[in-house]
Structure 1
């Protein structure tokens, strides 16, 4: 959701944002509804005022005078109901269309139609020297995992269908080590850790921008008005819904650890084997609430992306950073970068992390504000916070580069040094 005053002031900028983000919305039609709504409201308020005055007057009257006023009151009531019905017919599409309005991307965001036009801006590590075995002798994570009894896809398919998996033995321990290492990494920096709800209502998904829209197709719906989260961003960001925070308490640095669930609608036939595209995974998500200051927000963006980079560097996994183009970033984001990690079996980088700045898009939907203080410390205004989020680690996808890059010639896997304390000092996974 965006500031309607800003939309009225520069509609062409929002038209361009919608076009660049591949979002279909008739902004002129929305502005027409907005004008109609504004024109109706004074008449409704006047009719309500007259009705209230009549309600106060009638008890003081008697006889014919009272009957006459009752007739007038009935007529005014019918007039008010007609105006309110007209307003409702205008407000319903007015509200629905607002939910589809895009944020305006920063000027530095590349304009492009889809992920093929994302732009690489940084690389760390050398994929050509990452493997510990000759490339022609390297096994993929599926073969490695099954040989070492870390993965079982066949049994998982009989239980959970396609894109299901069992992590077992050292595979399960390796994933838990990753999660614990990442949470300890963030905790050491002062981040507040969350184990948030795995289910959320429509309002939380709408508030974080996932509903309505194409993202809704990837969410599992339950029978009682709740939905399984595809990221803890939904429930952690909603933590302060309808609250007014203090400026001195910002920024809020939160990290949510949770299981996540995605239907992967629209990905039929893509990455059907292995751990790359699955329906269930675990993730540590960073969520930031900060002041409505773009410069400060972009500093927070660098901080949360750096936190994720530090995890990858500690794991010694080659990766690259890309600026996500307008057609791939979604309606609420004003700036977005992905981190892609080198995956030998794919012969390419694969997306493992995402980092987003959304301005006040989510805060307006969730009604999260803060009191801005004046020179004397007294509150002078209430403003919407700005929000950011970042994947600090997500598994099992990240197990692909770990298992493949750390494989040895004998089929064993060396445990990354930073994870060994979380696996009882284990140095190597072997038969």
Structure 2
């Protein structure tokens, strides 16, 4: 491993579950982590997974190029790398976390996540963040270690700090520290041993600083870019955001989902007004080349605004030194969080709540439910060789069902539909 003498990260942070030599001395441990994530098949598959809407479902079919999970992850990584570096984090470490944070998401986005959670209710549930940890530490084939009777995968075998930085929700299902009913969690029961190793010495239920940077970068990237996509697709008229009726719908979309229940709508109104008053706000967007350039400038301004708000507030709280691991908490001003939430709510109201999108989501849920049922009845038929081998060696029905979940979660949108048609005969 390259020396970490010039960084605030110790040997515990750069340790790997399975020790291994560095094939190319001179690289840091976190440069290796970033390279492993960047070259993984799981990251490439995100190109075929829905971010907000399925490609092709736009009003302007001549420009059907919305974000995918892959482009979102790349944009999140760019935001996180720069914000993390400004605060003293290792930039390769933060970038690796940002690139990998969505790798466990299944086909059809959060809609697919809900469908798989229902199917997996009796074997530990499904959560995209827990699936990401499972993929990084078990499923993605990169390193194998000897075990009695053969070998076992340790996934990409990333460093402890990289796995911790990719963990938004450092608790198992049902153990949310403030909301036991929350569906958010970061580890399945059968992945607890490696999770315990990752979290060795960490404060209970507290995400590390790099994970907090990743989480805010994720919020910034998807709020800004989903708004950009919605505007570019013709789903949002900026002038309509002045209508009180339209605004009421935006606040309804935001409260309880993007801001806590009980938030005063006036705070959200103030947040939107602050944005609309900016000189760079995309007033009168009409899709022309000049308007597109202005919209691109607006997205840059928004990202800079949100990152600078967090950087300045965090530096004010903790000073100018490097902030890493558990030495600090990322401070995001309430005003910035509300501005970010308003952008999310605009995309929610004008894109996700469109009637054709709900029709499409209903169809997607049927596809995944029927696919899960068909694989359960016919497995190991229909499983890829990697998952067929795991199915054959699984110890019980619960473990076999988890393999089926892993297989479905690995599929792209198109692959899920293709396998569904193959196994059921239904288009």
TM-score (norm 2): 0.21
Question: Which of 1 and 2 has higher RCO (CA within 8 Å, sep 6+)?
Answer: 1
Question: Could you say which structure has the larger radius of gyration?
Answer: 1
Q: Higher strand share goes to which structure?
A: 1
